[in-house]
């Protein structure tokens, strides 16, 4: 059996009882380590699980899945995913490859940012499509997220924005030369995301959102040091010191937000007067 085991959002204790039993008994245990990270090191996981763990980077999962699936017809293999196996990423290719080899697959669900963001006070059924924000480069500024946000905004729904992480990435120069030297890890912040969003709006000029659009920045959701801040996109550009270390996410509020959401999120506001004024002028309506 190939087991896809969700690890939850924060630390070694977030794994479910079912997931922990599978990890302890599996012949091999892999940790998918490029779409998200836990807030503890691999050694902490190994100590708690009582198992050695093989870190599976993007290259292994996408190009060397045969090694992960080796002998899974006759023994159990645990493939551990931060959050939920079918949350921010589905690992569809790995599952389809297992099916081709007649390997049974079972997923063990857990909390992900898709559900954990409810701690911001926003109601999950008021969310639309989730989008991703990547680090912009001088000659590469993808803006496909903009149209998805517009679709959400047109029907008044919130948008969860997942922020880029760069783990075990090569520079273009080293990649071209085939040199296996990797860049230091980078994790996008709410401030960087908000700034890039405003830059895209300035280019597009379609009025999907703007400096005065309300948003909530989230950090280390589900962890002991979980933190939320609420304000305008302009305010969130300078909120990284308040939010602290990674991982960060951002939510752009939809205009049909409920007054209960307003009151709950107001406790996180960087400036409650600004929050009240912008809300009264623009939100709580279709």
- pLDDT tens per residue across span 178-192: 666 666 788 999 999
Q: Is the pTM of this model over 0.85?
A: yes
| Binding site per annotation, positions | 9, 84, 87, 112-113, 163, 221, 248
pLDDT of residue 185: 80
| Binding site per annotation, positions for S-adenosyl-L-methionine | 9, 84, 87, 112-113, 163, 221, 248
**Where do the H-state alpha helices sit in the chain?**
17-25, 42-49, 58-63, 65-69, 92-100, 113-116, 144-154, 172-177, 190-204, 233-236, 240-243, 259-266, 272-282
Q: Is the dihedral of CA 66, 173, 168, 217 positive or negative?
A: negative
Mean pLDDT across the chain, nearest whole number? Answer: 91
- pLDDT tens per residue across span 143-178: 999 999 999 999 999 999 999 988 766 556 655 666
Question: Percent of the chain having pLDDT more than 90?
Answer: 77
Give the residue-averaged pLDDT of 246-275. Answer: 96
pLDDT of residue 35: 75
Distance, CA of 8 to CA of 30 (rounded, Å): 15
């Amino acid at each position: 059996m190939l087991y896809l085991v969700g690890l939850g959002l924060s630390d070694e204790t977030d794994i479910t009882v079912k997931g922990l039993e599978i990890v302890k008994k599996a012949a091999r245990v892999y940790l998918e380590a490029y779409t998200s990270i836990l807030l503890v090191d691999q050694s902490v996981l190994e100590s708690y699980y009582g198992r050695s763990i093989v870190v599976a980077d993007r290259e292994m999962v996408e190009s060397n899945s045969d090694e992960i699936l080796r002998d899974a017809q006759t023994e159990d293999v645990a493939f551990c995913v931060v959050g939920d196996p079918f949350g921010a990423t589905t690992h569809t290719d790995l599952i389809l490859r297992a099916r081709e080899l007649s390997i049974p697959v079972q997923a063990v669900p857990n909390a992900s940012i898709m559900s954990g963001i409810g701690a911001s006070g926003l109601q999950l059924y008021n969310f639309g499509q989730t989008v991703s924000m990547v680090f912009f480069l001088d000659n590469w500024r993808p803006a496909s997220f903009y149209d998805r946000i517009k679709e959400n905004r047109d029907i008044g729904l919130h948008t969860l924005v997942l922020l880029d992480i760069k783990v075990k990435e090569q520079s273009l120069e080293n990649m071209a030369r085939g040199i296996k030297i990797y860049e230091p890890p980078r994790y996008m912040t709410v401030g960087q995301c908000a700034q890039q969003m405003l830059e895209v709006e300035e280019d597009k000029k379609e009025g999907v959102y703007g400096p005065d659009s309300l948003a909530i920045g989230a950090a280390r959701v589900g962890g002991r040091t979980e933190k939320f801040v609420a304000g305008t996109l302009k305010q969130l550009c300078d909120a990284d010191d308040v939010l602290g270390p990674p991982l960060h996410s951002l939510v752009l509020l939809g205009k049909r937000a409920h007054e209960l959401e307003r009151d709950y999120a107001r406790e996180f506001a960087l400036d409650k007067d600004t929050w009240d004024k912008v809300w009264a002028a623009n939100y709580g309506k279709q």
